[in-house]
Structure 1
Amino acid sequence: MRARNGKFGTRDEGIVARDLRRVLLGTGAILLVPLVAMRFTAEVNWDVLDFAVAGVLLAGIGSLYVLLTRKLRTATQRRAIGGGLLLTLMLVWAELAVGIFGSPIAGS
């Protein structure tokens, strides 16, 4: 569909693109924490696959939040979506870290 100025796209798409860029920057910032920690302690020992999985998980959940909440009007609805996605993120992260459910994705 053409916008009034004759170009494809809308202002809303620009906002979504901006929010998705923020998600990617936030993901990168969060992944810097274990990267820096690996330089100072032997207790953090991530390899490339760990960073890739964490990056996909964080960016995926963040992007899903942006896309699901872009049309919601009330803060209560956005909080509910955000809380559900945060709970999902924490459960998957814990399963990958220590295998609390004993599923095959945890390596058990």
Structure 2
Amino acid sequence: MKNKANNLIMRNAVFAWIAAGVGCLLLLPLIAMQFTTEVNWETADFIVMGILIFSISSLFVLVARKVPSKYWLVWAVLCAVTLFYVWAELAVGIFTNLGS
């Protein structure tokens, strides 16, 4: 399994898979907007979240290519925490008023 993961991360096609995954993730709020008024995203929200998720995922891939595989979990957690912090900051503004 480790060799298979290494092989996928080393190929540049991984960025196409990341883009496809980001597109699928962004379908969730788009579909939710059709059924409820609680989800109210504008075009800019989709663009910002798409760029944020794609860039954090790409950053993980680029770092994973450089560091040994035993540190991948640490980098994955760090990238996830960064993603969720920036997302929360943009949504509601935890430490700043970016989301307000």
Could you tell me the TM-score, scaled by structure 2's length?
Answer: 0.84
- Gap regions ≥5 residues in structure 2: 1-6
- The letter for the 2-side match of 1:72 is V
**Aligned partners of 1:27 and 1:55 also within 8 Å:** yes
1:63 to 55, 58, 63: 58
Equivalenced residues, count: 93
**Paired residues of 1:23 and 1:62 also in contact (CA < 8 A):** yes
* Alpha-carbon distance in structure 2 between the residues aligned to 1:36 and 1:107: 23
- The separation in 2 between residues aligned to 1:72 and 1:102, in whole angstroms, is 33
The percentage of counterpart residues that share the same residue type is 43
Partner residue, 1:94? 88
How is 1:8-87 mapped onto 2 (pairs within 5 angstroms)? 15-75=10-70, 77-87=71-81
| Distance across 1 between alignment mates of 2:42 and 2:56 | 22
Separation of aligned partners in 1, 2:69 and 2:45 = 36
Report the CA distance between 1:74 and its aligned residue. 2.5
For 2:4, the equivalent position in structure 1 comes to none
Larger radius of gyration: 1
Asked whether the equivalents of residues 16 and 66 of structure 1 are also in contact (C-alpha less than 8 Å), the reply is no
| Structure 1 residue ranges, 4+ long, deviating more than 6 angstroms after superposition | none
Task: Please say if residues 22 and 53 of structure 2, whose CA atoms lie closer than 8 Å, have aligned partners that are also in contact.
Answer: yes
- Of Structure 1 and Structure 2, the greater helix share is in 2
Q: Does the Cα contact within 8 Å between 2:89 and 2:99 map onto a contact in 1?
A: no
When normalised by structure 1's length, the TM-score is: 0.78
